Chains A and B, each alone.
Chain A
Amino acid sequence: QQQVKQSPQSLIVQKGGISIINCAYENTAFDYFPWYQQFPGKGPALLIAIRPDVSEKKEGRFTISFNKSAKQFSLHIMDSQPGDSATYFCAASMRAGNQFYFGTGTSLTVIP
């Protein structure tokens, strides 16, 4: 059973546009929601993370929006650049269990 559901599977955005990736979860015990960026042949790299006590977190061009009641969270990439082309994974974890549950990934392509 997929603990974290991610969509879309792939996304094509024009340079300068906004990329939006969505994730949904069921387990209300999750209390940490990171996003990772992965380039081909590399390990995932932490991009930004949020805890459920806030509804939004922004770091540079990257913003997480969190809706606790809907059990959904999303990543917004503003002013998308070709260098942002990568696979993005959402994840969820709980301090008691600690393991991360990853979504299935979104392949983002930013065209010049």
Chain B
Amino acid sequence: DTGVSQDPRHKITKRGQNVTFRCDPISEHNRLYWYRQTLGQGPEFLTYFQNEAQLEKSRLLSDRFSAERPKGSFSTLEIQRTEQGDSAMYLCASSFWRVIGEDTQYFGPGTRLTVL
């Protein structure tokens, strides 16, 4: 399977703990995106990378959220001092962006976070 993969698929944690999620994009894709999806809502954009550069991070929900893509391949999303309101599905997507052409985003299966 050469699609976007995410790990873990499910994470249960206690309030106040830190959590880290990993995303492996489709191998030739240069852009990687993180979204959050709460129940009954559409995905909400958080941040994205082009190669290793984080081009947009103003939409991260608070300074407790951070993301990295150190070598332009996989990415991690960390949430520090988790709160119950952080419980959601965290989705990763990737795309092959060019100046001209389609920029379809392909989504992974998501990581479902539950904060107790």
| Chain A interface (Cβ < 8 Å from any Cβ of B) | 6, 32, 34, 36, 41-46, 49, 89, 91, 93, 95, 97-105
Within 8 A of A (CB), among B44-78: 44-45, 48, 55-56, 59
Chain B residues, CB < 8 A from A98:
31, 48, 55-56, 97, 103
| Chain B interface (Cβ < 8 Å from any Cβ of A) | 4, 31, 33, 35, 40-45, 48, 55-56, 59, 91, 93, 97, 102-110, 112
Chain B residues, CB < 8 A from A104:
40-42
The answer to whether B44 and A102 have CB atoms under 8 Å apart is yes
CB distance from B98 to the nearest CB of A (A): 10
The answer to whether A99 and B40 have CB atoms under 8 Å apart is no
A44 to B43, CA, bound (A): 9
A25 to B46, CA, bound (A): 20
The answer to whether B41 and A105 have CB atoms under 8 Å apart is yes
The answer to whether A44 and B104 have CB atoms under 8 Å apart is no
Which of A32, A41, A43 is the one whose CB lies under 8 Å from B103? A32
Chain B residues, CB < 8 A from A34:
104-105
The answer to whether A100 and B43 have CB atoms under 8 Å apart is yes
A98 to B48, CA, bound (A): 9
The answer to whether B43 and A102 have CB atoms under 8 Å apart is yes
- What are 13 A-B contacts with C-beta separation under 8 Å? A32-B102, A32-B103, A34-B104, A42-B109, A42-B110, A43-B4, A43-B91, A44-B43, A46-B106, A99-B48, A99-B59, A100-B45, A105-B42
From B42, B44, B55, B59, residue with most partner A Cβ within 10 Å = B42
